[in-house]
Amino acid sequence: MLADPPGFTPAYDHELAAALAARGLDVELVTSRFRFGETPSPSGYRRSEPFYPLSSRVFHRSPLRIPFKLVEHIPGTVSLLRRPADVLHLQWLAAPELDRFLLRARVPTVFTAHDLVPRRTAKKQALWRQLLSRFDRVVVHSERGRQTLVELGIDARVIPHPVFPSEPPRADDGRTLLCLGTIRPYKGLGDAIAAARQIDGARLLVAGDPLEPLNGYRAEAGNLAEWRLGYLSQVELERALGEATVALFPYRPELDQSGALLQALGAGVPAVAYDVGGIAEPVRQFGAGRVVRPGDISGLAAAARELLEDAAALEAARAGARRARETLTWDAAAAAHVALYEELA
């Protein structure tokens, strides 16, 4: 049983569930209604949405949603723990302060630490040490992530995040820098704008759902940027990837890995990324772009400029993105997960 109570990563949940089912596992995905768009139809697995039946439908982004969601979290978790399963694999902990009391599973448990120590509770290391130590296995997506959890006394297993393969129609003008995904403070959009302004002739495409105010960014970018705001449908996502020459990921150290980065690499789009968390690992491993010291805006601009202006360097980085797509497959991730589950049988 895969569980993503808050429905934070529906694309990841779907691909992993489908790949596990393709390997012969009986898979149920337990989650909540995704509030921002359509989710993929189940392929070989079952999907149920018992979590947050009202708060995910009624309140949208109202401040009332969070307290109501906390109330709904309790019966949702109780229901989850009563469902029959051989292994319970949680993808996210939506309410860690409550989960420390509620999560008492009767079957072997696995947790994937997508967000190594989530932002809202990052200072509560004792809380996360207690929660993570309760799982039989913990999965991370990078060696950097594994080392981070070692510092909390947690031994984690590295299973790289697969790419999301796609073949978008190419409409690349050779000068478009892409910032993809939800717009949050840790994504470093200000750094991307500042870097793009240092590159003559560059165009910046910002495509994603804003979860922070944009007025300052818009003023800073001026005519440099095109804004495609809101949750992107698959068609709009592929349109943005098809127009991108290079994708920028000037993140602050928050996540272990970025789904947006794996979308870009899966479409054959090279990346320039700050060396934070595990973000840089697939870029460096496959030669799929450039890795830059965190916070180095001039270095970010120089790396992006090199790929935009040097055709050979750009093609080599595109080849690296294709190598990542061929290696970091969902079937390979499913095989690694099956091996881990078998250890608990």
Q: What pLDDT, in 10s, does the model give residues 127-154?
A: 888 899 999 999 999 999 999 899 889 9
Provide the mean pLDDT of the chain. Answer: 92
| Same domain membership, residue 336 and residue 253 | no
**Residue 85 pLDDT class (50, 70, 90 cuts):** very high
For 339, the domain range is 2-161+330-344
Instruction: Judge contact between 303 and 202, C-beta under 8 A.
Output: no
Per-residue pLDDT of 296-319, as tens digits, reads: 999 999 999 999 999 999 999 999
* Alpha helix (H) residue ranges in the chain: 10-22, 55-58, 65-82, 96-102, 125-132, 143-150, 189-196, 215-221, 234-243, 259-266, 280-286, 297-309, 311-327, 330-344
Task: State the total domains in the chain.
Answer: 2
Percent of the chain at pLDDT > 70 equals: 95
CA distance 87 to 338: 11
Whether residue 261 is contained in a domain is answered as yes
| Same domain membership, residue 282 and residue 151 | no
Whether residue 171 is contained in a domain is answered as no
| Same domain membership, residue 85 and residue 6 | yes
HSE toward the beta carbon, residue 63, CA cutoff 13 A:
0
Q: Residue 247 is inside which H or E element, if any?
A: strand 246-249
The CB density around residue 54, as the number of other CB atoms within 10 Å, is 12
Instruction: Judge contact between 110 and 89, C-beta under 8 A.
Output: yes
Whether residue 169 is contained in a domain is answered as no
Structure tokens at 257: 């890995």
| Same domain membership, residue 133 and residue 74 | yes
DSSP 8-state assignment for residue 200: T
| Same domain membership, residue 316 and residue 340 | no
| Same domain membership, residue 312 and residue 191 | yes
Whether residue 154 is contained in a domain is answered as yes
CA distance 95 to 147: 24
Residue identified by tokens 């804004």 is 227
**Residue 39 pLDDT class (50, 70, 90 cuts):** confident
CA distance 180 to 121: 25
Whether residue 215 is contained in a domain is answered as yes
CA distance 174 to 214: 26
Whether residue 16 is contained in a domain is answered as yes
**Mind giving me the DSSP string for 270-329?**
-EEEES-TTTHHHHHHHT-EEEE-TT-HHHHHHHHHHHHH-HHHHHHHHHHHHHHHHHS-
| Same domain membership, residue 218 and residue 108 | no
Structure tokens at 19: 């790949």
The CB density around residue 37, as the number of other CB atoms within 10 Å, is 12
| Same domain membership, residue 140 and residue 189 | no
| Same domain membership, residue 196 and residue 138 | no
Residue type, 151: E
Whether residue 296 is contained in a domain is answered as yes
| Same domain membership, residue 196 and residue 323 | yes
Between the alpha carbon of residue 186 and those of residues 116, 177, 251, 295, 314, the distances in Å are: 14, 18, 6, 12, 27
| Same domain membership, residue 217 and residue 238 | yes
Whether residue 167 is contained in a domain is answered as no
pLDDT for 117 beyond 80? no
Q: The domain spanning residue 26 has which CATH number? A: 3.40.50.2000
Residue identified by tokens 């949702």 is 76
Give the Cα-Cα-Cα angle 111, 12, 1 (nearest 5 degrees): 50
| Same domain membership, residue 313 and residue 226 | yes
